[in-house]
Every structure is written in C-alpha cells, then in structure tokens.
A and B are shown apart, each in its own frame.
Chain A
Amino acid sequence: MPDATVAPPELKLRERNVLLLDLSKSMLAPLPDPQGTKGERQKIEVARTAVFRILQDAATTGTPFGLVTFTETVRVPVPLGEVHRENLPYIENLLALLQPSGRSAVWDAIAVGADLLRVGVQGVRGNLVLVTDGWDNASTRFGVRSEPNEPLKGGLTDLVPYVLPPNSELSLRIVGIGSGIERDRGVDAGSMNVLLDRLRTRAQELGLAGAFGFQEVTTGSQLFAQMVQAFLDVGYDDDRPLEEMHPEELAQHAASAARALKEPQQHATVSRLRAPRPPSPTTEVNYLESPDLEVGVLSAAGGAPAYLRERYGPLGEVIEAYLGGQYARALAVLGDAKAVLPPVTRLYWEARIQFAQRAVVEAARALLQAWSEAEKLPPGSQASVLRRLALLQARMQNDKETETLVRFIDDTEHRLGGTDPEARERLMDLLGRLMELRGTYQLTRLAGEGDLQDAALRHEAAVEDVFGRLQDARLQFSSAGPIVEGALDFIEICLAEMR
C-alpha cells in the first residue's frame, strides 16, 4: 500500500489510469466472435491484446498507467507511473507469462487499485477500469454491503468508503465478460451494479465528482472495443517531424498553414476543426453513454508496424491489409468488424481505403458520413478525430495548405503527449488562439474602407496577445526540447504571416 502521508504533485483525474485484470481460471474460456474473422479466442488472449494497446498509448502520451491482476491473490505487475517505451517489451513479456488460475478476489483488487490512486488527504484520484468475467469469491479483506446497513462478514472492511474517501475524484468502469449463459459462468452483473449504486450514492452524499459505469460484453471483439475504444489511424508516407526540417522549410510550412487560416473560402475544411484546447480538469465523461475514443496514430515509416492484428484487434487487421496494398481485403475485414468498431472509425477507414484505390466518389461519400458521426463524439476525443478526417479530406482535395496546418496541429499534439503536461497544455492553448485569429483576420478582409482601421486594430491586438503568450511559453519552456521549440517556431512564423 503506498505511503498516504506524502502527497505527490496534484495530477488530473484523466491522467492516472489503473487497469484491474481478472486472471482467474475462467479467463481461459473462449469467447465467441461471430462477426470476427478469428472465430473463438480465449478471454485472456483478447484482454492481453487490449492491454498491449493500452500500454502503447500510455507510452506515447506519457499518461501514468498501472496494472493490477487478481486471482485469490492481488498483484501489481505494473506500478502506477509513466510507461517508458523502452520498457514495453519487458512489460509485454511479463503479461504474456501471466497465466490464469484459481478464483477471483474482485473487491480486494479494487481496493488495491484505489490504493495506487490514493493521494493523501486528497483522496483517491484517477480512473479504474475493471475487467472481469466472474464473481467475487475470494476477497479476504473487503466486502460490499447488499443493503446500506447490512453487516459485513467476519472482519471484512466496507469497500465503498475505502475507495471513495472525502475529496476523491474517481471513475470506475467495469467491463464484465459473459452474461451467465456462456459455457463458463459470466460476470455477476447484479453485484457489480450494487457496488456502482453504492458508489454513486456516496459520491452524491459527499459532493464528489466521479463517473461509475458497467458494460457487459459477450464477444471477443466487444471486449476489445470496450477496453480500447479505438480510432486508429496510420501516418502518411511523407510525414516529417518539424525538428527535422531546415529552418527555411519550416518557415514555408508555417506560411502555408497560415494561408489555410487566412483564406477560408479556399480552405473550407479548416472551419470544421475545433480549436485545440487542453482538457479541463472537471470534464468528466460518462463511459456508458458516450465513451471517449482512444485516438492513436501509428507511424508507417519503414513499413507496417509489427503485431498490428495482435495489438489492435480487427482494426489492426484492416490497417495491415491496407498497408499491404490489399484494399479489397481491407474493405472486407472492415465490413466484418462493423459491429465492434465505432462508426466514425469504420467510415473513416472506408474513405481512406476507397481513396487509396482511387474510388473518389465512394471515398467522399464515406468521409461525409464520418464527419456526421464525428459530430456525435464527446469533446474529449472529437478534436483529434476531426483533424484526422480533415487531413484525409485535404489530401483528397489536394489542399496542401490545410493539410500542412492540420498535420502541424495533429503532429504537435500527438508528439507532445510524452512531454511535460504543462508545456502540452500551454502549447495547445497557443494553437487554439492561433486558430481563432482566423476570425479577426477575416474582419480585416471584409471590412469596408471606413471600418478597416477598427478591424485591423482588433486583429493586431489579438496577434499581440498571442505573441505575448508565445514569449512567456518560450521563457518557461526554454529547455523543454526540440519538439516544444519546433512547435513554438512554427507558431511564431504563422503569427507573422497572419497579416
């Protein structure tokens, strides 16, 4: 149990994740996958695949991640902390060696997960995701009351106040495998819902922010999709990071991006983008109603990424076929995975594959539908998904300016994932403000002779404001590394071009 007396620096709820994975013997049972191409797969196999993916994302974004596994015994194979890319192979080997056996101490595991997220007097802060296919039949320390005043059996501690002390900011999402009619007994949905009800009641009583949800899955694809809500994309051949560019080349890119902001009529796609804003610490997402999509972009430089199918499930298989130039197969796999992929992901990939095989009309139709689906997404992932759609649209329309702008914003946000959260937040804020200069700039173009000076004055004041913030960012993050420096250089030149 961590030392609760020392409070680490405050971290945002969304930035601390602990996965609780059931390793009881029943996880060896197969899960059907009627719409998938693989037939039956063991629950543990699907869960491992999803964990690999989650680890990859954590290493990319720098988001602290912890893994708790449980049978009768609760273990912490990956303590809560930053996942470094170089350690991924070791962690993945370790996960591969974890073999299911025995029973399930579900409540004890939730308590250990909460301990990892405990921050002294600030309570338990972060996200817990529990993946289980069974019942609690082995906990020795914690229990959950069926009724509020019901006594707990011999010396057990009430789990609810333990995981939700005052000041906490916790989300618990339960992914329950099986419905009880499978060959192996499925998740105890009743007990899970009792736990969630009691957590909600306590959160309400204490006035705490939090989200508590339960989702039952019955197939391998559903399990993967629930563990990893995925919008996965793969970079284009000509992607190049800013810090590798010659300064004059960087300036040309920045000027090109600025043109996309300055000429909305010629670059209509830009108006569909949301200005990037750092996530608000109070923005919570109800997992049941509108789950956030994990948005990832893989680099395809040097060939297809390894273990696409193993790591990314059905979508990985689509991407593998796409990168191999097997567009018909990619479309077929995409069709088979229709039920388990978020609609926006499926439509985006349909558009991308169709565009690759020069079926422009079909590509445009699919992309149009993808835009509509993207509008329904929760704000947490919407901006990133919209940018990927915009990038594809810009390529389809051969609109280099928009492509450069979108690439810069997307690439910067993606690559800043592993850097200091404050630097990331400040840069995203600057990018948002840069995008908003479109408005004041347009007024200078539309204003008549009499109003021109007012419009120009307002625009120059807005530029001045962003430039002041840029200077402060330079001073604060002068040693933050080439990614931050490159992004600031780009914004500075963009600002100069906004005239």
Chain B
Amino acid sequence: MGDVKVTTRTKRSAGTKRESKSSGESARIAVVGIPASGKTTYFRFLSGHFGLNLPILYVPAREDGGNLPLYGDLDNDVALEETTYETTDPTDPEESLETTTRYYVNRPMEDRRKLWVELSAGREDQGILTKYPLPTKFNQFVEMKMHFRYGTPEDKNGSRAMELNTVDEAGGIIADYFSYDRLWIDSAEGEVTEKSCRVIPHFDSWRPDRRDLWRRGLTLLGRFVQEADAIILFLSPALASLRDQAQQINLARGVFRYTRARDLPLVIAISKADKLKEFYGEVDRSVRERTFRSQFDPVDFLLRRDGAGMGTILVAQEGRGISIKEDVFLVSSAVSTGEGHPLLVGEGGQEAPAIGTPTLGVPVMVNTTLPLARACERILAKRATKGS
C-alpha cells in the first residue's frame, strides 16, 4: 500500500451532503457484503494493484490473455480515500460526528512482501494501514473510496473517472440496510428514522450511542447507494456460522430487490474463492503449469454444487437485471497455500519456494479485477443505451 498523503480532521454532520470530487461523467460503484466478506481486502489490493502490478491469475483462463481496461492515474488521483466517522459525544445537540480522512497514493514498496505480511496478519496485528486505530466497531465506521479509470492510459478518450465506494467496518450496517427494505430511503437527502430502525432485531436493546451511530451509518449508506450507478455484491462461501449464512442470504435477497426496483446494474463477486477446495486446486495448478488451461466452470459450480448456497436464488434472478453467466465471478484477493502462508509468485511466474532462504515473491490475486471491470462495462453500456 502507498503512503498516507494527507490527514484532515473535521466535524461534519453525517447527513451533510458532500461535493463529489469526480467530474460529471464519473460513475459510482458500491461494494456491499456482510462483515468479513472481503470488502476491505478488495479495496486495498485493487488500489495497490495499480501501483504494484500485483499478478492476477484468471481461473478459468481468459481468452484475451488477461488484459482488463482498468488503471489508476497515479500522477493525478488519490488512489484510496478513507474517512473515519466516530461518535465522540452521542448527546451532541448538533448531531455531529468527528471525521478523519486519510488519503493514500500508490507507490511501489521496496519490500513487496511487506504488503502481504500486513494484510495477512490477524486484525489485531495489522496496524493502521490495514485496520483502523480505534478498537471498537461500535463507535466508528469508515467510508472507503477508491479512484480509478476505465479504459487504457494510452487511449485518452476512453478513460473515465470512476469511484468504488463502500462503508467499511460496517458490514452489519450494510447487511441490515439491504435486508430490511423498511429502512430504505428514496432520496439523497432522505434519513433513516429511529422508528424504522426497529425492524432490526433487538435494536431497542442496544446502547443509545450505538443505536445512534447505526442509524447515521444507515443514512449515510442509504444516500450513498441512492446515488450509485452499480452495485458489486460480495458473497462469502463456506461461512462456518449459520447466523452469518442467514445474514448473507438476507442481504443478497435484499440487494436483488433493491437493484431490481431501481434498475441498477448488479455484479456478484463470490469472494474468498480460494476457500473452495476445487477452485484452489485450479489456482495451484495454474501457478505451477503456465500452459494449464483451467476447465473450472463457475456457473456449474454456483448453481449445481452450491458455491455459496445461492443456487436457487441466483436462478430466480436470471434475466432480471443479472446474467449468471456474465455477471457472477469467483474472486480471491489473496491466495493462501494453507495455514496462513501466502502463495507467492517469483519473477519467473513460478511459485516461490516456501523453504530455504526467503525468496522474493508477490502474492497472487485471482480474478479480482473482473467484477469491477464488468460493473464499469455495464454502466457504460447502460449509458450508451440511454444516450442512443
């Protein structure tokens, strides 16, 4: 990850609408998922990818050799912007939140393994770059914004300013907002009311300051997705907890309702795909054998072999704003060889040996850019249709 360029500390009402830094032709893409579905890692790796040229492996292999029209304008753009919202005084009559914004720019790091180490460590060991300075999730959430362009740097007409957004440290807020449509707001000035928050299980039993922060977070998210041009839904397979599984299914069903009602392009990323044994087998072989052409069929996997328990739900949505064949991707932001060891690829493209002298290598990402590229593609296609 790059340097922290600027830090500002301001007091801002959560309801205040801010001017977008993007130009008129920019597009906003919202990333949503339950807690620990991989949203943060997706942002960090993607923003890092532009500066670091982290290797991306496509499973199954792409016909075009893997060139995707995504890039960062490193000279002019802040690659990543994180704004922390923190309640300091829940009784503040001005209803303000303390906000801290950090801007990250991409610079190649001297030790490329460092990035991996920071990201792969447990959250308590990750430090400021990977998670946020305050330990509690109950008094803060973070708005993440990644700036990038769609097209190629050489083709100036093709490039556009795009934003990828999420509310980080707030997977619970995201899950609640989409699951319970009684919370939905209808305008970028709308507000989620305390009364409607009671649709959230046990909301009344929460601490008052948590209730307040949650409501503000829901409002912020509601306004932000109200202005979104597309949504990328992150789904995590192999969730151990049945509660988490239920939360994810409710979120997914809610996102389908939401995008259908607003005619928004939706792209699905089956995140942490390396947790799926079969998929990992393909990754492993692709790294070892450069000539190996993967036969992995994501559609068959998702529909018939229960990739994230979404088979019937996805079938029901087919053709209603989403195509299972074209809009669903298996992704893994960083592939592990197991037991927490990263799968590193050396300069020659072969797997770096895990024993002996530490070898220079960079962590492998799988298909990570595909959902974002597809979301951009669908936004542009929609605009073109409207324009014509």
Contact = CB atoms under 8 A, between A and B. Distances in A.
A468 B203 CA distance: 18
A453 B315 contact: yes
A493 interface: yes
Interface stretch (B56-64, B152-160, B237-245, B358-366): B237-245
B250 A492 contact: yes
Given A444-B315, A460-B313, A463-B253, 16 more contacts: A248-B242, A255-B246, A456-B312, A456-B313, A459-B316, A464-B253, A467-B253, A471-B181, A474-B180, A474-B200, A475-B196, A475-B199, A478-B204, A492-B246, A495-B250, A499-B313
Interface string A477-499: 01100000100110011011101
A496 B201 contact: no
B182 interface: yes
Interface string A440-476: 0000100000001100110110011001100110110
A459 B317 CA distance: 11
B242 A489 contact: no
Contact of A474 (B198, B315, B319): B198
Contact of B199 (A456, A471, A489, A495): A471
Interface of B: 180-182, 195-196, 198-204, 241-243, 245-247, 249-250, 253, 257, 309-313, 315-319
A215 interface: no
Contacts of A492: 201, 246, 250
A interface majority secondary structure = helix
Contacts of B310: 499
Nearest to A493: B246
B198 A478 contact: yes
B45 to A, nearest CB: 29
B199 A474 contact: yes
Q: Which of B181, B200, B249 has the most CB of A within 10 A?
A: B249
A456 B246 contact: no
24 contacts: A248-B243, A251-B242, A251-B243, A254-B242, A254-B246, A255-B246, A452-B315, A453-B318, A453-B319, A460-B313, A460-B317, A463-B253, A464-B253, A464-B257, A467-B250, A471-B181, A472-B182, A474-B201, A475-B196, A492-B246, A495-B250, A496-B249, A497-B246, A499-B312
Contacts of B242: 248, 251-252, 254-255, 493
Contacts of A456: 312-313, 315-316
B312 A496 contact: no
B244 to A, nearest CB: 9
Nearest to A488: B201
A496 B316 contact: no
A289 B123 CA distance: 70
B interface majority secondary structure = helix
A493 B248 CA distance: 11
A452 B312 CA distance: 9
Interface string A290-305: 0000000000000000
Interface in A26-77: none
Contacts of A478: 198, 203-204
B312 A485 contact: no
Contacts of A235: none
Q: Name the 5 nearest CB pairs between A and B, nearest first.
A: A496-B246, A456-B316, A478-B198, A251-B242, A460-B316
B273 to A, nearest CB: 20
A495 B315 CA distance: 17
A463 to B, nearest CB: 7
A180 interface: no
A499 B249 contact: yes
A446 to B, nearest CB: 12
A488 B181 CA distance: 16
A184 B318 CA distance: 80
Q: Which of A444, A475, A496 has the most CB of B within 10 A?
A: A496
B243 A247 contact: yes
A495 B245 CA distance: 12
Contacts of B180: 471, 474
Nearest to B242: A251
A489 B318 contact: no
Contacts of A452: 315
Q: Which of B243, B250, B257, B309 has the most CB of A within 10 A?
A: B243
B154 to A, nearest CB: 43
Contacts of A471: 180-182, 199
Contacts of A474: 180, 198-201
A272 B114 CA distance: 62
Nearest to B309: A499
Nearest to A497: B246
B243 A493 contact: yes
Contacts of A495: 250
Contacts of B249: 496-497, 499
Contacts of A463: 253
B107 to A, nearest CB: 43
A460 B200 CA distance: 21
A115 to B, nearest CB: 41
